[in-house]
């Protein structure tokens, strides 16, 4: 079995504080404080759910990979899904063998949870940006 749990659904937001307030105060969820992720060009906030997480993303720095997405969707929008895998290199090799595109240089980077992550091209996955995270 290659993919496991849905680790998180990421939403790009124009205002992290407003999104935090909405989910914490209106929806009653447990929400983390913002964390800059300079290696990824984003600031993240995590909403803990009983069965998964929501990851709020806001652009950080000049070349944020989510800047254009926010320009196209000024009110925000669902940005990616993250599936868990137990072996990211085996997953990568299988994806490449099946002719699917890995974004960047095919090498995993350390993601928000301190675990290796890869991103797969949205055009190969029904218009959906997919992240895989080794847990
Ligand atoms: C801290 C780590 C954290 C974690 O969970 O561990 C993260 O999740 S970090 C998240 C931020 N980082 C990334 O998203 C890295 C991977 N993403 C990228 O490299 C870009 O977002 C990319 C290449 C997917 C799109 O970049 P951009 O929008 O600047 O490129 P284009 O405008 O050329 O778009 C190409 C084409 O793809 C469509 N697109 C773009 N973003 C998405 C999306 N999120 N979901 C679905 N489709 C998307 C865009 O509309 C273009 O389509 P076209 O038909 O050609 O108009
Ligand atoms: Co993510």
Locate the domains of the chain by residue range: 3-134
* Token duo for residue 123: 């055009």
> Mean pLDDT, to the nearest integer, of 11-40?
98
* Torsion angle defined by CA atoms of residues 5, 116, 74 and 48, in that order, rounded to the nearest 10 degrees: 50
Per DSSP, the chain holds a count of helices (H) and strands (E) of 3, 9
Q: Which atom of ligand 1 is nearest to the CA of 129?
A: 45
> Mean pLDDT, to the nearest integer, of 6-26?
98
Write the DSSP symbol of residue 25: I
**Which amino acids are annotated catalytic?**
131
Q: How far apart are CA 78 and CA 41, in angstroms?
A: 17
Task: Give the per-residue pLDDT at 22.
Answer: 98
Residues lying with their CB under 5 A of ligand 2, a single-atom ion: 10, 55, 82, 131
Q: How far is the CA of 82 from the centre of ligand 2 (A)?
A: 6
State pLDDT tens for residues 52-104.
999 999 999 999 999 999 999 999 999 999 999 999 999 999 999 999 999 99
Please state which CATH class domain 3-134 belongs to: alpha beta
């Amino acid at each position: 079995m290659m993919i496991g749990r849905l680790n998180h659904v990421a939403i790009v937001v124009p205002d992290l504080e407003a999104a935090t307030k909405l989910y914490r105060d209106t929806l009653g969820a447990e929400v983390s404080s913002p964390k800059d992720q300079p290696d990824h060009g984003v600031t993240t906030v995590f909403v803990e759910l009983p069965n998964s997480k929501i990851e709020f993303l806001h652009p950080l720095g000049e070349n944020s990979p989510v800047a254009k997405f926010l320009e196209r969707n000024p009110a925000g929008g669902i940005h990616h899904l993250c599936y868990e895998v137990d072996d990211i290199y085996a997953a990568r090799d299988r994806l490449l063998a099946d002719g699917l595109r890995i974004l960047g240089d095919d090498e995993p980077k350390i993601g928000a949870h301190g675990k290796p992550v890869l991103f797969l091209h949205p055009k190969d996955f029904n218009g959906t940006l997919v992240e895989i995270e080794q847990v």
